[in-house]
Structures are given as C-alpha cells and as structure tokens.
C-alpha cells in the first residue's frame, strides 16, 4: 500500500495479514465495535484509513454502507440515515467542511461516534466537535497513525479531547510509544521533545521498491515515525513537528508546523513551506482577508529571523492530496524550486555582506520598533529594551543580555537600541548587567 507522500516521494509499504488483523483488533477494542456497528465508506479503501474502517467492522461482525459519495454530496446524509449508519470517519478537511456548513455531530441522526485521522485537525475544531459530541452522548475520537502501522498508532480518549485538543493521546491496545533523543535514547521526562517511535504487531514488514522485495520480511524493531513529539503532564502524547519540516535559515532551527500554527492563530489560515534560504507563507485567497502588509515582518520578529527571510503570498488554492492532506511536495516544486524563484544569496561573502551591512542592521532595528509599536528615541531604560526586544516579562537588575538567552540575531536589534539609549555602545555590553549599563548611562550624562 502506498503512503501519502506529502513531504517526500511516495513509498510502498509491505503489510502482512498479521499486521492488518492485529490493528483491526485494536481498533475494535478501543472503539468498542460489535455486530451492531455500521460504518459508511466515506473514505477510499485503497487509503489505509479507509481500509482500516472496513477491516475493523468486519472483524467485529458489523456491517458497512457502501458508497462512493463524500460528505459534500447532497445525497450523502439521507443515505447515511436511511441505511442506518452509526459512525462517521473523516480527515481534517472533512471536519473543516462540516464546520463551515454548520453541521454538528449532535444533529446527525443515528450517529454514535465520529473519528478523525489523516493529519492534524486545528485544536479549536477538535474542542468544538468534542464538546458538541460529549454533550449529546456521542463520542469524538482523534486518532494518529501511519500506513507503516496498518495504520493506527494512537487515539485520544473522547473525554480528554476538550482539555487536550492538540494531543494524539495514548497508544492503541497492544502497542507502545517511546520518545527518543538524537542518540536514540528514551526520553523519560515530560514536555521534552524527541522523535516518536512506535512498537507493535501492526508495524510493517518494510518498504518495497520492486516485486522481489515482497519476499523479504524487514520488520523494524521500532517504527521511526519521523514525527517530533513529547509526552505531556497528563501522560498524553503530542506531535510538535515533523523532522522533515525543520529548516535552518541563518542557522536558526525553525519548525514550519509551529510557524503555521502561530500564523493560523494570530493572522489567518495558511500553509508554510521553506528551506535554509527562506520561509514562504501561503494564504488561500478565500481566507486572506486578515492578512496585513506587515505579516512577514511580524513573523520574522516572533521567530527571531532577519527581515526578508519570511515572505508572504496569497494564492488561488492550496494543492491537496486525495486524502485531504496538504501536498507540501507540490508546493515546494511550485514555489521553492530554482525555476520558481531566485534564492537568497548563497555565497558566504554575499551573505555576510547582507547581514552585517549597516543598512541591514538599521532596517532590522527600525522594523522591529515599528512592529512592537515603539517610537525611536523613547527608551526609558535598559530594562525596557531587554523586555521589548527579547520578549521577556521579567528582567532583574543583575541580568545581562547573555543571561536572557540573547542570540546572534537579537544581538543586532538590542545593540542598536542600547547604543541609541546610551549614546555609545560599551565594549562587552552583552555581559554587562542592567545596573552596570545604567551606570554607564549616568556617567555619560555627567
């Protein structure tokens, strides 16, 4: 069975009968399926999520309503009700459509539960559907998996969804999840991210590149998912990014998923792609009304990047895969390939000339002031400079720039502000405390 190929080339996964059987049995257990359960085939059977719905219901002795319609077809819901379906399964796009159409789970006749997988659904929608479902005696399951696991890995218990809408929950029955650091060692402390590794009888027999590979069992000890995750204080797992979705413009490690989430919460729905040269934020035309001209500069400041690294663009549509996921591979081809747009300077000399030019530093400083709503020459002290430009709430008199986790990029903005406030920039200012810098200001005033 092929993977979705959203962040790279499509791979073909070898799944054994035991892989499929064990995963179906796990799903039957946590969804509490039995001979009365009846699902509607709203997802294609050649998609691992769609196949798991078929397998789990047949394994439980239940039944299926066969249809090629989607939730957007006018006859879908009449068919759902008339044929006695009791569950709905969908990808994030499915629930985004239901929300736009004003359809509530509590209003769907005969529905007992709904499941969501195939990508991350926005936390506010998870909470909205979860609260609506539980308030009407229904259940809403957020699930996580990969084709390589046939496909289910975890599920979020319905009674936890409203409180932890950004989590993927707990491992399925018979499986286990570990968070591994860069050296492959288990991370036991909560809230510490690492790569999510899964172990269970549903893990694939490896990948197939040709017919001869079908004869080999290459089941890995762990399925390395490629997702960066952590375990929260409540024991639930949470995906914080994709290893393939990390870029390092100007040496700063940026999680593109985190950028997407921040922009979605503060500006407008978006899709973010990037490389080590630049980050491109794409806003669908239909959702771009809240996009301001200063958006790129705001993002650069929040994520401590120089102006110009972040670019924003409104596009007619975001390409999707058949399963409703964003087609990041296509987006990179359209907007980040050499033919799409000339990259930023790559030669070290050109880059250094850009970053350390006085014009660049001054422009960076001016844009930071504008974004923060500050006027030039209105600093009331070193403490105010540190709070505003380093984004910290508390600054103690003995703190210095270095103590407050200042880096090579915030150095530029803070140095210019200190110089402006003091009238000069003392040697070693970054290691001088607030008290010492204020003393330098008092001395300069005499």
**pLDDT of the chain along its 446 residues, tens only?**
887 544 445 678 999 999 999 999 999 999 999 999 999 998 888 889 999 999 999 999 999 999 988 888 889 999 999 999 999 999 888 998 899 889 999 999 999 999 999 888 989 999 999 999 999 999 999 999 999 999 999 999 999 999 999 999 999 999 999 999 888 899 999 999 999 999 999 999 999 988 899 999 999 999 999 888 999 999 999 998 777 777 767 556 688 888 888 888 888 888 999 887 788 999 888 766 557 556 787 888 888 777 678 888 888 889 888 767 788 888 888 888 766 644 444 444 444 444 444 444 555 555 555 444 444 445 778 988 888 777 667 788 888 887 775 544 456 567 777 888 888 888 878 788 999 898 877 665 55
Q: Determine the pLDDT at residue 62.
A: 98
pLDDT in the model for residue 356:
46
Token look-up 């005696």 returns 137
pLDDT at position 194: 92
Kindly report each contact of residues 209-216 with a partner whose C-beta sits within 8 Å and lies 24 or more positions away, as own/partner. 209/12, 213/14, 214/14
Q: Which residues contact 164 (CB under 8 A, 6 or more apart)?
A: 156, 232, 234, 236, 238
> Does pTM surpass 0.95?
no
Taking residue 204's Cβ as centre, other Cβ atoms within 10 Å add up to 24
Q: Any alpha helices (H) in 356-433, and if so which ranges?
A: 358-371, 382-390, 410-422
Closest CA to 290 of 269, 316, 262: 269
CATH number for domain 248-335, candidates 2.60.40.3500, 3.30.300.30, 3.20.20.30, 3.30.470.20: 3.30.300.30
Cα distance between residue 87 and residue 69, in whole Å = 15
Looking at CATH, the fold of the domain delimited by 350-445 is given as 1.10.1200
Question: CATH number for the 17-242 domain, one of 3.40.50.300, 2.60.120.620, 3.40.50.720, 3.40.50.12780?
Answer: 3.40.50.12780
Report the pLDDT value the prediction gives residue 161, as an integer from 0 to 100. 97
Asked if residues 198 and 149 have their Cβ atoms less than 8 Å apart, the reply is yes
CB of 14 closer than 8 Å to CB of 211: no
The pLDDT assigned to 347 comes to 44
Q: Which two tokens stand for residue 138?
A: 């229904």
| Coil/strand/helix, residue 175 | coil
Q: Kindly list the domain boundaries of the chain, sorted by start residue.
A: 17-242, 248-335, 350-445
């Amino acid at each position: 069975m092929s993977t979705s190929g959203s962040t790279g080339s499509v791979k073909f996964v070898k799944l054994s009968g035991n892989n499929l059987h064990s995963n179906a049995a796990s799903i039957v257990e946590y969804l509490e399926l039995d001979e009365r359960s009846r699902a509607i085939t709203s997802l294609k059977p050649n998609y691992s999520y769609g196949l798991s719905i078929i397998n789990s219901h047949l394994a439980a002795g239940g039944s299926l309503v066969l249809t090629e319609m989607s939730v957007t077809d006018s006859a879908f819901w009449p068919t759902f009700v008339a044929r006695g379906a009791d569950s709905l399964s969908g990808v994030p796009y499915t629930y985004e459509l239901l929300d736009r159409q004003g359809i509530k789970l509590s209003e769907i006749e005969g529905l007992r539960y709904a499941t969501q997988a195939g990508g991350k659904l926005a936390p506010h929608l998870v909470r909205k559907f979860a609260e609506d479902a539980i308030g009407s005696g229904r259940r809403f399951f957020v699930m996580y998996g990969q084709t390589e696991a046939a496909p289910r890995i975890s599920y979020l218990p319905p009674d936890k969804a409203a409180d932890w809408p950004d989590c993927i929950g707990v491992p399925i029955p018979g499986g286990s999840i570990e968070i591994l650091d860069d050296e492959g060692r288990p991370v036991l402390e909560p809230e510490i991210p690492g790569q999510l590794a899964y172990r269970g009888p549903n893990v694939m027999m490896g990948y197939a590149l040709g017919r001869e590979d079908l004869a080999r069992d290459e089941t890995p000890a762990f399925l390395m998912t490629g997702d960066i995750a952590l375990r929260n204080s409540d024991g639930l797992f949470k995906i914080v990014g994709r290893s393939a979705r990390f870029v390092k413009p100007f040496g700063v490690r940026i999680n593109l998923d985190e950028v997407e989430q921040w922009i979605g919460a503060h500006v407008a729905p978006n899709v973010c792609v990037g490389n080590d040269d630049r980050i491109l934020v794409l806003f669908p035309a239909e959702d771009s009304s809240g996009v301001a001209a200063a958006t790129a500069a705001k993002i650069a400041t929040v994520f401590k990047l120089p102006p110009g690294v972040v670019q924003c663009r409104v596009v007619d549509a975001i390409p999707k895969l058949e399963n409703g996921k964003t087609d990041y591979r296509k987006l990179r081809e359209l907007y980040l390939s050499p033919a799409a747009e000339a990259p930023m300077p790559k030669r070290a000399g050109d880059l250094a000339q850009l970053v350390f030019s006085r014009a660049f530093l001054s422009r960076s400083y001016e844009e930071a002031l504008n974004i923060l709503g500050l006027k030039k020459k209105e600093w009331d002290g070193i403490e105010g400079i540190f709070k505003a430009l380093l984004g910290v709430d508390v600054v103690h008199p003995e703190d210095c720039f270095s103590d407050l986790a200042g880096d090579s990029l915030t150095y530029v903005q803070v140095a210019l502000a200190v110089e402006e406030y003091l009238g000069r920039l003392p040697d070693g200012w970054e290691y001088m405390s607030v008290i010492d810098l204020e003393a330098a200001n008092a001395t300069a005033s005499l």
